[in-house]
Amino acid sequence: MPYYSGFDNAPEQAGWQQFTKGATGYFPWNIGAGGYSAPNALSHDYPVGNPGTDTVTDWYVSPPFHFYGGGHLDSLKINLYSITDTFTAQDHFGIYYLTGSPDPALADTVVLLADLTAWASSSNNWRDTGGFAIPPYNGSTYIAFKYIATNDWFVPNVDNINMTGDTVNSVNGPAAYTNNIKLFPNPSSGTLNLQMPDNKPSVITLSDAYGRSIRRQEVQALNTSLDVSDLANGTYFISIMQGGRNIRTLNWAKQ
C-alpha cells in the first residue's frame, strides 16, 4: 500500500481475475484501449445472442490486499455507457469487497460498497467515485466489480484505481516494528533476503499474485535467505505471522 492500477501494464494487471457465475459463452471482462487515461482500461461488453433469456453475471476481482488497520478505496474513474440512456431491471454494476477468497462463492464476506447501475447514460462520460472505507480484516481482502446484464447495451468501464491501507497502531507500537521488516533485492532473480527487527519465531508464507500459497517456512532469525530461482517471473507476496497473527505482507517481483 498504497496501490494503483489503470490496467496499463503487466504489474498493474497482475493478480486480477474473472469469475463467471451466470451464462457462459459471451463477452468476458476485457482490458484494452479507450480508458480515461491511455493506454488501457477495464471494460465489459454487453451480451448478445438469446435476447432476454441468458443473464451474464461476471465478477472481476483484484489481487489480495491486507487491511489489518482498515483501508480506503480512495478514488477511481467509471464510465457506464448505455446506448438506450438507461438500464433494465436485470442490469447491475457494483463495487464490492470480499474477504477470505477471491471467488465470490467461497468468500467469507461479500459486501457491496457502491451500486452504480443508475449511472448508465448514453453521454459516454467518465465520472469520479471513491472514498469507500474498508474495515480491518486479519486476512486477505479483495476489491471486486460485479456486472449483470441480459441483453441491454450496458457497458461498464473502469480506470485509475487508487487504494490506501491504514496503519495498525497500539501501545507497543507494532507499526514501528513492522516498518523495520526489509525484503531485498526487489525485484529478485534467485535469492530473496528477509531482514527482521529481531529473532522472534515467525512463519513466512509465500503466495502468488492470486493469493495462492506456494511455500511456508518457520524461521527464528534476524536474516533469512529464500531460494526463489524456481519460480516463474511475476508478482508475489510474502506474509509474516507471529503468534498466529499476520503482522505484515510485502509484495515483490521475480525477474
Q: The CATH number of the domain where 241 resides is what?
A: 2.60.40.1930
Separation between Cα atoms, residue 96 and residue 61, nearest integer Å: 9
The answer to whether 42 touches 58, Cβ cutoff 8 Å, is no
Say what the pLDDT of residue 19 is.
Answer: 97
Q: What is the pTM of this model?
A: 0.68
Lowest mean pLDDT across 11-15, 30-34, 82-86, 127-131: 82-86
Same domain, 60 and 133: yes
Same domain, 72 and 119: yes
Same domain, 225 and 104: no
Q: What is the number of residues in the chain?
A: 255
Residue 59 is part of a domain; what is its CATH number? 2.60.120.200
Separation between Cα atoms, residue 45 and residue 43, nearest integer Å: 7
Same domain, 38 and 86: yes
Same domain, 194 and 127: no
Same domain, 85 and 193: no
Separation between Cα atoms, residue 145 and residue 112, nearest integer Å: 10
The whole-number average pLDDT for the span 42-48 is 84
Q: Name the domain boundary from 143, 165, 187.
A: 165
The answer to whether 161 touches 142, Cβ cutoff 8 Å, is no
Residue 4 in grid coordinates: 494503483
Same domain, 9 and 131: yes
243's CB contacts (< 8 A; 6+ apart) are none
Q: Report angle CA 122, 125, 131 to the nearest 5 degrees.
A: 125
Report the number of distinct structural domains present in the chain: 2
Say what the pLDDT of residue 137 is.
Answer: 82
The whole-number average pLDDT for the span 101-125 is 92
Residue 124 in this model has a pLDDT that exceeds 80: yes
212's CB contacts (< 8 A; 6+ apart) are none
Q: Which residue has the higher pLDDT, 136 or 221?
A: 221
Kindly list the distances between the CA atom of residue 191 and the CA atoms of 3, 58, 234, in Å, as whole numbers in the listed order: 25, 39, 15
Reported as a single tens digit per residue, the pLDDT across 197-240 is 888 898 898 887 666 778 889 999 899 999 999 999 887 888 88
198's CB contacts (< 8 A; 6+ apart) are 222
Lowest mean pLDDT across 69-78, 141-150, 245-254: 245-254
Reported as a single tens digit per residue, the pLDDT across 186-209 is 889 999 999 998 888 988 988 876
Radius of gyration of the chain (CA): 20
Q: Name the domain boundary from 165, 198, 221.
A: 165
Say what the pLDDT of residue 168 is.
Answer: 45
Same domain, 153 and 220: no
Count other C-beta atoms under 10 Å from residue 227's C-beta: 10
Beta bridge partners of 215: 206
Q: Name the domain boundary from 111, 142, 165.
A: 165
Same domain, 8 and 82: yes
Same domain, 10 and 132: yes
Say what the pLDDT of residue 170 is.
Answer: 35
Same domain, 104 and 12: yes
Same domain, 118 and 19: yes
Which residue is listed with cell 531485498? Answer: 184
Count other C-beta atoms under 10 Å from residue 150's C-beta: 20
Domain housing 207: 174-254
3-state class (DSSP) for residue 112: strand
